[in-house]
Amino acid sequence: MPSYEVTAASAAEMPRFREWADAEGWNPGRSDVIPFQAADPRGFFLGRLDGEPVASVSAVRYGTDFGFIGFYISRPAVRGQGYGIRLWQAATEHLAGRNVALDGVVDQQENYRRSGFRRVWNHVRYAGVPRGAEASAGIRLVDGRDVPFGQLADYDRRFFPAEREAFLSLWVGLPSHRSLAAVRDGRLEGFVVMRPAATGFRIGPLHAASQDVASALIHGLVGDAPEEPVAVDVPDVNAPSVALMQRLGLKPTFECARMYTGPTPDTDHAGVFATTTLELG
């Protein structure tokens, strides 16, 4: 019988998570695994068959009471043999006692329901070359790196269920990432990050006080790469964001369900025009 074990992933093995996500067609960011591991260095697991990695999962702990599951992948050659379940058990043990979230692909949602998750909304990926994004009167766009980090982290906390400063500092600071903050009368009214992906660019998070602010942030981002395709993961409960993506000419290409084991976190849902990442929330 082959030997199977679940172990924590090393830093050297983190690129494997991106490579496998790319093979699944998820279009991961090229440098995502660097800030991902900083979020919870103990939260990435590999299933090894006779020592060879064949399955992956992440189970990232945020704060004291929230967690997020992602990268739940078994390689095609070993699917249906029970190796994924062993990984799932390791992930849930790592997050025991927390309200846990995930973004579940359509064909796995019933399995997640049986594991105690409930759907609260869908994330719809809109992709294409944006057209018609507009600036907004009275809004000043500044590089996210120029905003005092404490102010930026406090703003991000309005939209995310827990503190994630280690992750956020890298998400904003990596040289390949571009971030913008929208400022009006000295107040932050929006924040966005764009990063290169396997294909084109990924945008997320996109937090904004209004559709006009969200449009201004996208306008500020795509001006430097007007013909590059982007992908944006939009909560379908945010009607102004859905309308904005349609106005920009972006098309829905993928859908998954945001699911929680506990109550829906009390955050500013109306201000989330795009989630940060489907892998880590």
Would 105 be classed as within a structural domain?
A: no
Q: Total structural domains in the chain? A: 2
Would 94 be classed as within a structural domain?
A: yes
* pLDDT for the residue 81: 86
Domain boundary among 66, 83, 100: 100
Q: 143 and 269 share a domain?
A: yes
* pLDDT for the residue 169: 97
In 24-67, which residue ranges form alpha helices assigned H by DSSP? 33-39
Would 111 be classed as within a structural domain?
A: no
Q: 186 and 237 share a domain?
A: yes
Residue 84 contacts residue 224 (beta carbons within 8 Å): no
Q: 153 and 65 share a domain?
A: no
Would 118 be classed as within a structural domain?
A: no
- pLDDT tens string, the chain, 281 residues long: the values are 679 999 999 999 999 999 999 999 999 999 999 999 999 999 999 999 999 999 999 999 999 999 999 999 999 988 888 888 999 999 999 999 999 999 999 989 999 999 999 999 999 999 999 987 777 778 999 999 999 999 999 999 999 999 999 999 999 999 999 999 999 998 999 999 999 999 999 999 999 999 999 999 999 998 766 688 999 999 999 999 999 999 999 999 999 999 999 999 999 999 999 999 999 99
Name the residue range of residue 270's domain. Answer: 126-274
Q: Name the residue with tokens 């859908």.
A: 255
* pLDDT for the residue 225: 61
Q: 16 and 152 share a domain?
A: no
What's the CA gap between 19 and 21, in Å, rounded? 5
Residue 55 contacts residue 83 (beta carbons within 8 Å): yes
Q: 84 and 42 share a domain?
A: yes
Q: 169 and 223 share a domain?
A: yes
Q: Name the residue with tokens 């904003």.
A: 172
Q: 29 and 151 share a domain?
A: no
Q: 205 and 268 share a domain?
A: yes
What's the CA gap between 210 and 120, in Å, rounded? 22
